[in-house]
């Protein structure tokens, strides 16, 4: 028999009144591509610039920058971790790793798109080396929870890293190994983070972009393991 449970429904209108709990059945496994929602052709219309940094959300980005995508559960709190870092040109929240083209927030929350809530980070590696970004990622959430993050339950909350070049992938895999060793030494669980090359990133609605800057004290579901991640080093 299907298991029912409570999960956080965090729509923008709901959030202004506080967190609303919706009784619902959520899928525990990723949807098959053949069963994913069809989506739409036109991309989401969003604000042109970052609410905090003032930089262009959709580019163009400086030539020296690189892009990577992080899934850490609720993307509201996760994005705030990154826009505060020196060397980040722009951040944005959206939907990554799934099948449905140009989904909206409700569709992603249904678990029928295959996407996870993700943060796009465009950074200058000369100022902010990727290993330092990865330290923020690993320590900023619990990467052992599978299809959940704290009270947020569902495939759209899974931990994930999506890379855009082979050098990033090598550094990510090394940091996975090293932080996995640190978790094991502290008696914590096994990392369940999805790691793969990036698919198309679909920007989330403007209301979700830089949400905690627009709504100070708003919901943030992040919670780390308390385990320190060493700055990943090559052997």
Q: What is the pLDDT of residue 12?
A: 39
Instruction: Tell whether 194 is covered by a domain.
Output: yes
Residues tagged active-site? 74
Give the chain's largest Cα–Cα span: 53
Beta-carbon-side half-sphere exposure of residue 62 (alpha carbons within 13 Å): 13
Using CB atoms within 10 A of its CB, is residue 127 exposed (0-12), middle (13-18) or buried (19+)?
Answer: middle
Q: What is the pLDDT of residue 27?
A: 66
The pLDDT tens digits of the residues spanning 191-226 come to 999 999 999 999 999 999 999 999 998 999 899 999
Using CB atoms within 10 A of its CB, is residue 208 exposed (0-12), middle (13-18) or buried (19+)?
Answer: buried
Query: Which positions ≥6 away from 190 have C-beta within 8 Å?
Result: 144, 180, 183
Instruction: Tell whether 68 is covered by a domain.
Output: yes
Under a CB-based contact definition with an 8 Å cutoff, are residues 119 and 131 in contact? no
Q: What is the pLDDT of residue 16?
A: 32
Instruction: Tell whether 39 is covered by a domain.
Output: no
CATH number (domain holding residue 171): 3.30.1060.10
Rounded Cα–Cα distance for residues 184 and 191 (Å): 10
Q: What is the pLDDT of residue 234?
A: 54
Q: What is the pLDDT of residue 230?
A: 85
Rounded Cα–Cα distance for residues 133 and 72 (Å): 13
What distances in angstroms separate CA 11 from CA 16, 104, 118, 130, 227, one per listed residue?
Answer: 9, 11, 16, 32, 32
Query: Which positions ≥6 away from 116 have C-beta within 8 Å?
Result: 71, 95, 96, 97, 98, 155, 156, 157, 158, 160, 194
Instruction: Tell whether 14 is covered by a domain.
Output: no
Instruction: Tell whether 116 is covered by a domain.
Output: yes
**Structural domains of the chain, count:** 1
Instruction: Tell whether 95 is covered by a domain.
Output: yes
Domain that holds residue 101: 44-214
Q: Which residues of the chain have pLDDT under 50?
A: 1-25, 235
- Positive or negative torsion for Cα 32, 23, 76, 232: negative
The pTM of this model reads 0.89
Instruction: Tell whether 149 is covered by a domain.
Output: yes
Instruction: Tell whether 153 is covered by a domain.
Output: yes
């Amino acid at each position: 028999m299907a298991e029912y449970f409570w999960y956080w429904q965090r729509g923008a209108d709901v959030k202004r009144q506080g967190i609303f709990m919706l009784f619902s059945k959520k899928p525990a496994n990723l949807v098959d591509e053949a069963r994913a929602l069809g989506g739409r052709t036109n991309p989401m219309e969003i604000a042109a610039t970052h609410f905090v940094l003032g930089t262009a959300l959709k580019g163009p980005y400086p030539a020296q920058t690189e892009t990577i995508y992080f899934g850490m559960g609720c993307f509201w709190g996760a994005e705030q971790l990154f826009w505060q870092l020196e060397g980040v040109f722009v951040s944005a929240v959206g939907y990554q790793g799934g099948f449905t083209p140009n989904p909206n927030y409700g569709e992603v929350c249904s678990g029928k798109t295959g996407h996870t809530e993700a943060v796009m980070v465009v950074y200058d590696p000369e100022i902010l080396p990727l290993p330092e970004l990865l330290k923020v990622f690993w320590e900023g959430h619990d990467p052992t929870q599978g299809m959940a993050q704290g009270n947020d339950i569902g495939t759209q909350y899974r931990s994930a890293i999506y890379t855009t070049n082979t050098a990033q992938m090598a550094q990510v895999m090394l940091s996975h190994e090293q932080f996995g060793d640190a978790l094991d030494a502290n008696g914590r669980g096994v990392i369940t983070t999805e790691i793969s090359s990036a698919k198309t990133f679909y920007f989330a609605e403007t209301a979700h972009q830089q949400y905690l800057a627009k709504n100070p004290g708003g919901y943030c579901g992040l919670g780390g393991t308390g385990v320190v991640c060493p700055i990943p080093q090559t052997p």
